[in-house]
Amino acid sequence: MSEKEKTATSETERFNELFSELEDCDEDEQRKKIIEMNDTVDEMDEEEFKSIFTKDLFNKMGKMIEEKKISMEIAILLLKHVGYCKVMKNIWIMHFKESLLKRRIEKMIADENEKKEEKNENLLVGLCECYLTLDCSFSNELLSICACCLLKVASKKEENKEAQKEVEMALLTLSYIDYFMKMQNELYLNRIKEIIKHHQEHHNLTLLACLSAWQFLINRLPNNSLEKVIVNELRLAREAARELERLVKQMDLKRREGKTNGKEMKEMVTLMRWLSTLNVYFANFTLKNKELVGLFRYIIQVFRASKDNFKEISVICISPLISAANNRAVKVDYLLKGDVVDALLEEIQQPTQNYRLTYECMVLSLHISIRLGAENNEKIGKAKRKATKRKIFEKMEEDGYEDSMVSLHEMTSYRSFMLRYNQPAKYLSDYFVFL
């Protein structure tokens, strides 16, 4: 058995041991054990996580609550942390929605919300956070209750660590409401606008909280009136570039050695979630916006900084750029001025190539070239297109990119690229000068 397998086994056994001891402890001891259980959850990989959090475990918890062996408040301490880890690790589990515990939580949310007096707001918030992070489908009625409840928490303006932690969890939970779950604007728009605007003025949100606020809003697209708010009022492109800069300053993307700690891992996940969120936005927006040039430049900075030591981040950088290149609302000029083509050519020229990254770069180059060659290309005149063609061709010839591209024919990724897009051209440069 490998060292990793031994560690995983010991964590699983430790979690199960602590869980089995919960019903025989008083409340103070239960809290201590759940802190230990949460620590083991932090160390679990996806396979181990799924093996532990089964329908059987959730049903056992539901039965323990019913028999008053543990309180719902105690159970929430564990469930909320499990939901947080599930979202941050991007793990998809289906067992909670099939469990009796889910039905109990749904009933408790509805009952607590209906109370006119003596409503336990902290309990309601915890129930909503567990429900939305652990489940994947919700009733419209409960979704409305949870959204209103969590937006209220997220609107807190205190800047102490405890308040920031509560705001971060509320916004992270809201960001997990997928785009296919429809919500009326009046349920959320004024609140989320206020949260983002306050952060723009006071910088009170954590990196993850700020991302989550934007993610929740962008997940409501497509919506023309909402898009005007995002672009013109909240200035997404400018703010996203600033947040990426704030995030990267706290990360060492050029670090070559050393194990990634918990804080660095959280920042890395936040950075990748920002890129994925921008990918969704670029795929759906319809308004032209010159501020995208600055955002493209910063995505390229992240791409260049991460490709040596954080290849997964560098590959993810290409996806939003592909979506942007496919979006007719993005002028090709924005991509050229945003240093996108220069970065592509630099990567293709590398003597030792990362096949996956090179493949993604070729896909992006194809989409840019098609946009450049379109007859009605965003009102770019014939003379300007020729000048762009000559500039790119001369750069490729001067720096020896032509030779680099010929060698790509030996790559499996290049052959699969040609097959996928059914392109007969011999040289990748043909895509860039296809006018």
The CATH number of the domain covering residues in 3-432: 1.25.10.10
Mean pLDDT for the chain overall: 83
Residue 189, φ and ψ in degrees, nearest 5 = -60, -50
- Which range, of 137-146, 288-297, 421-430, averages the lowest pLDDT? 421-430
Determine the pLDDT at residue 221: 82
Q: Rounded to 5 degrees, what angle do the CA atoms 136, 137, 141 make?
A: 140
Asked whether 216 and 173 are in contact (CB, 8 A), the reply is no
Q: Rounded to 5 degrees, what angle do the CA atoms 125, 126, 132 make?
A: 90
- Which range, of 96-105, 141-150, 247-256, 327-336, averages the lowest pLDDT? 247-256
Q: How confident is the model at residue 72 (pLDDT cuts 50, 70, 90)?
A: very high
Average pLDDT over residues 182-193: 88
Instruction: Using the predicted structure, report yes or no on whether residue 297 has a pLDDT greater than 70.
Output: yes
Determine the pLDDT at residue 83: 95
Q: How confident is the model at residue 182 (pLDDT cuts 50, 70, 90)?
A: confident
Instruction: Using the predicted structure, report yes or no on whether residue 76 has a pLDDT greater than 80.
Output: yes
Please give the Cα distance from 170 to 120 (Å, whole number): 17
What are the residue boundaries of the structural domains of the chain, listed by start? 3-432
Determine the pLDDT at residue 403: 53
- Reference 122, options 152, 88, 81; nearest CA is 152
> How distant, in Å, are the alpha carbons of 191, 194, 296, 313 from that of 157?
13, 11, 31, 32
- Reference 132, options 79, 191, 211, 60; nearest CA is 79
Please give the Cα distance from 109 to 125 (Å, whole number): 9
Task: Give the model confidence (pLDDT) of 307-355 as tens digits.
Answer: 888 888 999 999 999 999 999 889 888 998 999 988 888 887 776 667 7
Q: Give the residue carrying structure tokens 């040596």.
A: 308
Instruction: Using the predicted structure, report yes or no on whether residue 27 has a pLDDT greater than 70.
Output: yes
Instruction: Using the predicted structure, report yes or no on whether residue 413 has a pLDDT greater than 80.
Output: no
Average pLDDT over residues 109-117: 91
Instruction: Using the predicted structure, report yes or no on whether residue 153 has a pLDDT greater than 80.
Output: yes
- Which range, of 116-125, 197-206, 362-371, 407-416, averages the lowest pLDDT? 407-416
Three-state DSSP state, 161: helix
Between 80 and 255, name the one with better pLDDT: 80
Instruction: Using the predicted structure, report yes or no on whether residue 420 has a pLDDT greater than 60.
Output: no
Contact residues for 209 (Cβ-Cβ < 8 A; gap 6+)? 154, 164, 167, 168, 171, 172
Instruction: Using the predicted structure, report yes or no on whether residue 279 has a pLDDT greater than 70.
Output: yes
Handedness of CA 6, 10, 13, 15 (dihedral sign): negative
Contact residues for 430 (Cβ-Cβ < 8 A; gap 6+)? 369
* pTM, 2 dp: 0.85
Cα 189 to its chain centre, rounded Å, is 21
Q: How confident is the model at residue 169 (pLDDT cuts 50, 70, 90)?
A: very high
The radius of gyration of the chain's CA atoms, rounded to the nearest angstrom, is 25
Handedness of CA 228, 330, 197, 265 (dihedral sign): positive
Determine the pLDDT at residue 433: 46
Please give the Cα distance from 132 to 376 (Å, whole number): 46
Task: Give the model confidence (pLDDT) of 364-406 as tens digits.
Answer: 888 887 777 664 444 556 666 566 666 655 655 555 555 544 4
Instruction: Using the predicted structure, report yes or no on whether residue 51 has a pLDDT greater than 60.
Output: yes
Joined together, the tokens standing for residue 314 give 């560098």
Contact residues for 387 (Cβ-Cβ < 8 A; gap 6+)? none
Joined together, the tokens standing for residue 169 give 């969890």
Task: Give the model confidence (pLDDT) of 214-232 as tens digits.
Answer: 999 998 887 778 899 999 9
Contact residues for 33 (Cβ-Cβ < 8 A; gap 6+)? 18, 21, 22, 25
Average pLDDT over residues 80-97: 92
Please give the Cα distance from 35 to 293 (Å, whole number): 46
